[in-house]
Structure formats: structure tokens, C-alpha cells
Amino acid sequence: MTSAEKGVVYLVGAGPGDPELLTLRALRLLETADVVFYDDLVPEQILALAQRHALVTSVGKRCGRPRISQAGINALLIESARAGQSVVRLKSGDPLVFGRAGEELAALRAAGVRFEVVPGITAALAAGAALQLPLTDRNSASKLIFCTGHHADGKQAAPLWRGPLPTDATVVVYMPGRDLERIARELAEAGVAGDVACCAISHAATERQSWVAARLDGLAKVECGPAPVLLVVGRTMAPLLAADRPEMLAGLFVSAAGTAEEVDPR
């Protein structure tokens, strides 16, 4: 049976937030680790799975204002492992998808600290499952593209995509921000047709989930729910706009729960 080893750092994916979507390995590491450093988007229900004597500490970032710098997080991981503790670095979704894992892994390698990456369900896959719609389809979407609307501090925002987007792709935008007019314009400039369906889903696969759908040419007017938000664009989302699918139209609302703010889950 899996248990966290002393002196090892585990970069663990917490998935979209539902504890039942954790992997068994992630659960067993949480139950046995001495230290857990977690991001802001990891919910209390998952943190409660840590062993009762574990040191559980937030190292999250909100609205680009870090509670601790990335260098500080790296130092905590290294110091804890060198002190002979077993360490879980708990990240929302999957550690290797927009999670700054590269910086932490590089620091651990340079310090000679043993580590392991434990994958989790990334938000795009959770959103597709929650909407009960495929992200790929052999008739309309043979490609799946992940991109982000969030950029490193001090870095000038670049377009979501340079050049024409494949017409047979589903595009998933992590952390799109609140300026959907800019996102819509950039997608249109990349060749996405105005009638392509878009879905902005808030808190995908959690109890707070809500979503709103529109064609690309109406995306700028969409009021999406509180962060974290994921934007899914592609022909596979078309059923969300079908007037003859009342069960789909029932999702055309935005939850009023919480205050809308953009969150960096890393």
C-alpha cells in the first residue's frame, strides 16, 4: 500500500475539487504525508483528508498577489525534505498543466531532492464530463488545444494563438480572465467562425458549478460565474445552444455565489 516516504516531495494533482475524483495514490499520500503545501483552489474537503498530525499550509496565489513567492515555495519544499519529512505539494487539477510544476521540479533537481509527480484530473476533462459532452469527436473535432489567458507577472499578454486555428479543434482556455471581448476577438482573428459554440464553466465538477453558453459572435456579452473559470470553444459544444435540448438550456445561468475574481491556481 502506498505511503509517503521521508525526504521525498510529491507533486500531487488534487483534480477539479471533488474528493471522489482524487486518484487512490493521491489519497494515500495525503493520508500519510508529514507536510502538505496546497494551492488556493484546493477545497477544504480534500485538505481534510490529510493525516491529523500533518502540517497543512497554504502557499496559494490570488489575483496575481502571492502569499509567498515561487522561490519561497521552492525553498519550503527543499527544506522540509532535507529535514526528513515526507512532503505533498498539492496542486489543483493536474500538476503538469498550467501549474508551475516545471519551476518546482527544476529546483528539486538542482537541490538533489527526490520527487515524484502524481497526476490529477485537469479542469478541461472535468468540464467535459460535467457537461456530458466530448472534447473530441471523429466528425468535428480531431484536435484538442489547451491554452491560457494568464501570463507571468510583468510579462506582456500575448495572443491566445498565433496564426490560423485548425477548424477541427476544440480550444480550452484556462484562466481566461473577465475580458471575454478580447478572447472572442482573438479567436475570430485566428479563424474561428462566429457560429461556433462557446461555454464558460465556473467551478467545473464541483457543487458550485455553473455555466453559460453562447456563439463566438455573442461571447463578449457573456457574464460568466466566479473564478476559476474555463472557456471551451468548439463544435462539440453545439448541443448547449440547441433549442430542442431543454436539459441543456437549463444550464444557461451564472451562479451568484461568491465574488468574481481571477485566481491563479499555481
Asked, for residue 176, whether it belongs to a domain, the answer is yes
Asked, for residue 3, whether it belongs to a domain, the answer is no
How far is Cα 153 from Cα 222, in angstroms, rounded to an integer?
A: 27
Same domain, 84 and 206: no
Q: Which of 39, 91, 94, 264 is catalytic?
A: 39
Same domain, 146 and 251: yes
pLDDT score recorded for residue 162: 87
pLDDT score recorded for residue 65: 56
Asked, for residue 2, whether it belongs to a domain, the answer is no
Asked, for residue 162, whether it belongs to a domain, the answer is yes
Q: Which of 6, 18, 40, 61 is catalytic?
A: 61
pLDDT score recorded for residue 256: 27
Same domain, 173 and 102: no
Same domain, 253 and 130: yes
Same domain, 138 and 160: yes
Total tally of structural domains belonging to the chain:
2
Roughly how many angstroms between the first and final C-alpha of the chain, as a whole number? Answer: 29
CATH code for the domain in which residue 257 is found:
3.30.950.10
Encode the chain (266 residues) as per-residue pLDDT tens digits.
Answer: 789 999 999 999 999 999 999 999 999 999 999 999 999 999 999 999 999 999 999 998 665 555 789 999 999 999 999 999 999 999 999 999 998 899 999 999 999 999 999 999 999 999 999 999 999 999 999 999 999 986 555 555 678 888 999 999 999 999 999 899 999 999 999 999 999 999 999 999 888 999 999 999 999 999 889 999 999 999 999 999 985 554 444 443 332 232 333 434 33
CB 41 within 8 A of CB 265: yes
Which residues, 6+ apart, have CB-to-CB distance to 245 below 8 Å? 239
Question: How many Cα neighbours within 13 Å face the side chain of 192?
Answer: 28
The reported pTM is 0.87
Q: Is 61 an annotated catalytic residue?
A: yes
Same domain, 245 and 221: yes
SS3 253: coil
The sign of the dihedral angle between the CA atoms of 251, 255, 148, 95 is: negative
How far is Cα 111 from Cα 96, in angstroms, rounded to an integer?
A: 20
pLDDT score recorded for residue 252: 39
**Domain edge (last residue) among 65, 87, 118:** 118
Structural domain span for residue 88: 8-118
**Domain edge (last residue) among 89, 118, 147:** 118
Q: Is 39 an annotated catalytic residue?
A: yes
Instruction: Tell how strand 210-215 and strand 197-202 pair up.
Output: antiparallel
Report the length, in residues, of the chain: 266
Same domain, 90 and 132: no
Asked, for residue 223, whether it belongs to a domain, the answer is yes
Same domain, 40 and 154: no
Instruction: Tell how strand 61-62 and strand 263-264 pair up.
Output: antiparallel
Query: Is the backbone peptide bond immediately before 176 cis, with ω within 30 degrees of 0?
Result: no
Same domain, 134 and 90: no
Cβ count within 10 A of residue 56: 17
Same domain, 42 and 18: yes
Asked, for residue 36, whether it belongs to a domain, the answer is yes
CB 192 within 8 A of CB 226: no
CATH code for the domain in which residue 84 is found:
3.40.1010.10
CB 11 within 8 A of CB 95: yes
